[in-house]
Structure 1
Amino acid sequence: MAFDWSQFYEQQGGRGVRPTFASALEAWPGEPGTAIDLGCGDGVEARHLVTRGWRVLAIDSDPGVDERVRAGLTPEEQTRLEVRSAPFESLGDLPAADFVYAGFALPFCEADRFPYVWADIRDALRPGGLFAGELFGPHDTWFGRPRMNFHDRAGVTGMLTGMEVLHLAEDDRRGMSFEGPKHWHVFHIIARA
């Protein structure tokens, strides 16, 4: 099944930053640095970073990403923002970053490409840099869908080996999605390189 991301982003209009993102920023000890927002979608988190002095590379495959992410930013703020319209799993090496955020984006990476994307994220993080994002587990309603990947708790913990895990919460419950009711199985992660 193909998702209509443009329609999804329109429905998300007016939302605040996601809780995992907000908690990661609270854990950031220093001045604003360089961030990567993978699957930046509607641009809420990328704009939040830019307006607080971060330099941001925002990446999303949706063709309207540039206009959407830049909306409402001043010309000076836009100088700290680079937007790439491309699937993040096909980018290859990412630039060095202090913060990599992938809010509900990584599950939509093809399973055979995911290990390479995760390796690129780990390689991009500077020492002390933060990763924040979500992965989906095997109890999720969408488990088994093509062009997605899923991980159990042991797999998630293994992926975080060598990182300081600041937050790892497992959400396994019924709820709503943009498609209607579903069972969510989500790992919310904040980890320091």
Structure 2
Amino acid sequence: MTAESDPWAAHARRTVGGPRPLLTEALELLGRPRRRVALDLGCGAGNDTLALLERGWTVTALDGSAGALALVQERAGVHRTRLTPLEAGFHQVPRRRYTLVYASLSLPFTPPARWDRTWRAVRRAVGVRGWFAATLFGPRDGWAGEPDMSFITAQALRERLDGFEPVVLREWEGEIRLAAGGLHPSHTLTVIARRLSR
């Protein structure tokens, strides 16, 4: 598959690096859970997947790009036995429960028509007393209005977290530099929440 037909694979190659601050923050809050099973939604280059694997987690890395998943498998090396690559859309989350469901900057790329279905699938994947960590885009983000992307207000996010205890719920606005180059006006909502009930 060429870069033109799989732009996310090219993006993954451009963004190889270390884990995002969101994962570091989430893992500090989790401590050392006895069951370390994670779902990385939109794993991209696998930066966060690899950080989890190196800490002894078993990880399902889900992405819509076969090229990105191939890169993750290549980078996983000796940790491959605890990695399950899954080429799928976010609404196709496996029907199992995870200690951590992690989605850094990926869920906003869900088309609005699939948003509700995707959110239900993601909620269902978080085990009782499990954790959900994500960065979502707010309505003042520079991409707001893109027809194939989803945006959420802080109030709507709080309402969708019923049954969860939000430990971190942070809103931020400012400019960021994109991996492809250029500055982008960003509006993000960061959440780290623990599931309390079924």
Q: When the two structures are superposed, what TM-score results if normalisation uses the length of structure 2?
A: 0.89
Alignment partner, residue 99 of structure 2:
98
Deviations 1:134-189 (A, max 9, x none): 11011001001021000111111111122111111111112222352121000011
1:3 Cα offset (Å): 8.5
For residue 66 of structure 1, report the CA deviation from its aligned partner: 2.9
Is 1:53 matched with 2:56? yes
Measure the CA separation in 2 of the matches of 1:74 and 1:175: 32
Indicate which of 70, 74, 82 corresponds to 2:84.
Answer: 82
Contact 1:176 1:182 in 2 (8 A): yes
Structure 2: distance between partners of 1:178 and 1:66: 19
CA distance in 1, matches of 2:144, 2:6: 15
Which 5+ residue runs of structure 2 have no aligned equivalent? Answer: none
Give, as a single letter, the amino acid of the residue that structure 2 aligns with 1:124: A
Matched, 1:68 2:71: yes
Selected match of 2:41 from 38, 41, 46: 38
* Rounded Cα–Cα distance in structure 2 between residues aligned with 1:140 and 1:109: 15
Question: Which amino acid letter does the alignment assign opposite residue 69 of structure 1?
Answer: V
Contact 2:63 2:87 in 1 (8 A): yes
Q: CA deviation at 1:115?
A: 1.2
In the other structure, the counterpart of 1:125 is 126
Q: Is the 8 A contact 1:98 1:129 kept in 2?
A: yes
Following superposition, the deviation at residue 72 of structure 1 comes to 3.5
Aligned partner of 2:27 among 21, 25, 42: 25
In the alignment, which residue of structure 1 is the partner of 2:188?
186
- Number of residue pairs the alignment of both structures matches: 189
Aligned to 1:135: 136
Percent of residue pairs bearing the same amino acid type:
32
- Note the C-alpha offset of 1:53: 1.3
